[in-house]
């Protein structure tokens, strides 16, 4: 199964504690999902922080739990996953789109976490689906299915691609010219 909560030594007193969201209620049984989850955990730990999985809660009061988590942790990572329902960004699902919907409990929980971490001025990083969720949370929209909506799409599922950082943006101030 690999690393489980409680398997690691106690964190150094100044080590940052980062929660990572996943679309599971507990550690999954299948090796592919466990491997993916471990990759996030290892990346955070290689950056010098203590990574802890945040599984979907089994109870209804997610706002209270989100407040507790935001108070306990120093930062939040919203991991990758399936697609957000187009209704979350004001669209109707296209019949031709290859949309694989996420468990709707997940964005509900993560939006509550996002609200609390931002309210407490703590950092949040979104990876793939997590970045899309943050975009929608800020009022943005998404392309439902790149291959069916664009005639010459870039390969985005298995490869890497270049991005342009626009001058005058916060990201440009952080990274400068690439």
Domain boundaries, the chain: 17-175
Positive or negative torsion for Cα 54, 106, 22, 142: negative
Query: Which residues on adjacent β-strands are paired with residue 124?
Result: 76
What is the DSSP annotation of 110-132? HHHHHHHHHHTT--EEE-THHHH
Hey, what CATH class is 17-175 in? alpha beta
CA angle 76-129-102, nearest 5°? 110
At 89-108, the pLDDT tens digits run 999 999 988 889 899 999 99
φ/ψ (deg, to 5) at 50: -95, 120
Instruction: For residue 15, name the pLDDT band (cuts at 50, 70, 90).
Output: confident
What does the pLDDT read at residue 79? 96
Q: Which of 68, 12, 75 is nearest to 43 (CA)?
A: 75
**Dihedral (Cα; 133, 22, 118, 5), 10-degree rounding:** -170
Q: Which of 69, 62, 73, 52 is nearest to 109 (CA)?
A: 62
Strand ranges in 93-174 using DSSP code E only, listed in sequence order: 124-126
Q: Which of 115, 5, 99 is nearest to 52 (CA)?
A: 5
For 24-28, 67-71, 151-155, 164-168, which range has the lowest pLDDT when averaged over its residues? 151-155
At 46-87, the pLDDT tens digits run 999 999 999 998 877 899 999 999 999 999 999 999 999 999
């Amino acid at each position: 199964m690999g690393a489980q909560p409680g398997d690691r030594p106690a964190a150094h007193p100044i080590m940052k504690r980062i929660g990572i969201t996943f679309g599971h209620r507990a550690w999954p049984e299948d090796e592919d999902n466990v491997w993916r989850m471990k990759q996030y955990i290892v990346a955070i730990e290689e950056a010098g922080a203590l990574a802890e999985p945040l599984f979907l809660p089994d109870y209804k009061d997610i706002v209270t739990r989100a407040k507790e988590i935001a108070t306990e942790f120093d930062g939040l990572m919203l991991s990758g996953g399936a697609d957000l329902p187009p209704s979350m960004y004001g669209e109707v699902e296209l019949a031709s789109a290859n949309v694989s919907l996420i468990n709707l409990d997940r964005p509900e929980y993560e939006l509550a976490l996002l609200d609390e971490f931002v309210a407490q001025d703590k950092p949040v990083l979104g990876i793939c689906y997590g970045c899309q969720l943050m975009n929608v949370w800020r009022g943005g929209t998404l392309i439902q299915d790149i291959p069916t909506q664009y005639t010459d799409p870039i390969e985005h599922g298995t490869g890497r691609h270049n991005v342009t950082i626009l001058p005058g943006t916060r990201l440009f101030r952080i990274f400068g010219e690439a």
